[in-house]
């Protein structure tokens, strides 16, 4: 048996024939490798999680917001400013209610009968004290609501979003009413504060409604 024999299986391969060992055909995957069907996009590597789609907001495969959008940050600041104004107003109404109560007590001490003028002053002072106290409590309750909404912006969900929209819309309507009253009065000082209130209320209402705000309140929480 000669190494030059072309039929010798142990001899070198003849000239012009492919080398040894035989190579797999071009375009075909080697043994042990998964085949990729034509027209199918490549799959992600093993061990790498795929990004899920969150249908809570338009465009399910959008990037999840990692930080609060700028418009929501502005609305949050406005809520804290409004709460400070409401606290000051509530304390002022409490002070006025205390003065009305003192006047009522003094008139009651000076009153000698039910027909006495001081008796009417005492009764009017009691009514005024109750009304002023009620207004002060409402202002302080609204201040607590403003602070709660602002704080919950970071972790709140759809409930905080809807409450903020309603709260901002009611504030905007109230500001518009006082704005029209101020315009009719012709006093510039009576227009400035309601105008600011309308601007604040409009931004607070719009911030959770726009696309970025909706995505923020619809993001997953772990």
Structure tokens that stand for 93 in this block: 């109404």
What interhelical angle do 70-110 and 158-185 show, nearest 10? Answer: 60
Residue 188 belongs to a domain: yes
Residue with tokens 């024999």: 5
Residue 150 belongs to a domain: yes
Residue 52 belongs to a domain: no
Q: How open is the CA angle 73-172-199, to the nearest 5 degrees? A: 50
Residue with tokens 């602070």: 147
Q: How far is CA 136 from CA 96, 140, 221, in A?
A: 9, 6, 37
Can you count the helices (H) and strands (E) in the chain?
A: 5, 0
- Mean pLDDT on 77-106: 92
Distance CA(197)–CA(189), nearest Å, equals 13
Residue 10 belongs to a domain: no
Distance CA(212)–CA(216), nearest Å, equals 6
Q: The whole model's pTM is what?
A: 0.66
Residue 190 belongs to a domain: yes
Residue 115 belongs to a domain: yes
Specify the pLDDT at position 58: 47
Residue with tokens 């009522």: 104
DSSP string of 10-48, one letter each residue: TSPPPTTS--SSPPPPTTSPPTTSPP--TTPPPPPPTT-
Backbone angles phi, psi at 184, to 5 degrees: -65, -30
What letter would DSSP give residue 49? P
Question: Which residue segment(s) compose the domain that 158 sits in?
Answer: 70-218
Interval 116-137: pLDDT, tens = 666 777 777 788 889 999 999 9
Specify the pLDDT at position 206: 95
Distance CA(94)–CA(98), nearest Å, equals 6
- Mean pLDDT on 68-79: 93
Number of domains in the chain: 1
Distance CA(44)–CA(57), nearest Å, equals 25
Higher pLDDT, 9 or 156: 156
Residue 137 belongs to a domain: yes
Specify the pLDDT at position 22: 55
Residue 36 belongs to a domain: no
- Mean pLDDT on 62-69: 72
């Amino acid at each position: 048996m000669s190494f030059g024999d072309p039929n010798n299986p142990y001899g070198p391969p003849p000239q012009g024939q492919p080398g040894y060992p035989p190579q797999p055909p071009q375009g075909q995957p080697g043994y042990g490798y998964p085949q990729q069907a034509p027209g199918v996009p490549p799959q992600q590597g093993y061990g790498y999680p795929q990004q899920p789609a969150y249908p809570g907001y338009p465009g399910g495969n959008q990037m999840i917001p990692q930080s609060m959008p700028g418009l929501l940050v502005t609305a949050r600041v406005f809520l804290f400013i409004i709460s400070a104004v409401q606290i000051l107003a509530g304390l002022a109404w409490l002070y006025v209610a205390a003065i009305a109560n003192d006047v009522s007590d003094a008139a009651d001490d000076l009153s000698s009968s039910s027909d006495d003028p001081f008796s009417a002053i005492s009764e009017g002072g009691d009514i005024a004290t109750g009304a002023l106290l009620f207004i002060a409590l409402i202002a302080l309750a609204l201040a607590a609501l403003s602070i709660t909404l602002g704080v919950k912006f970071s972790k709140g969900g759809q409930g905080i979003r809807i409450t903020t929209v309603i709260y901002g819309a009611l504030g905007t309507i109230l500001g518009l009413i006082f704005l029209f009253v101020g315009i009719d009065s012709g006093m510039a000082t009576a227009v400035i504060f309601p105008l600011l209130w309308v601007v604040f209320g409009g931004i607070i209402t719009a911030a959770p409604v726009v696309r970025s705000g909706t995505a923020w309140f619809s993001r997953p929480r772990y």
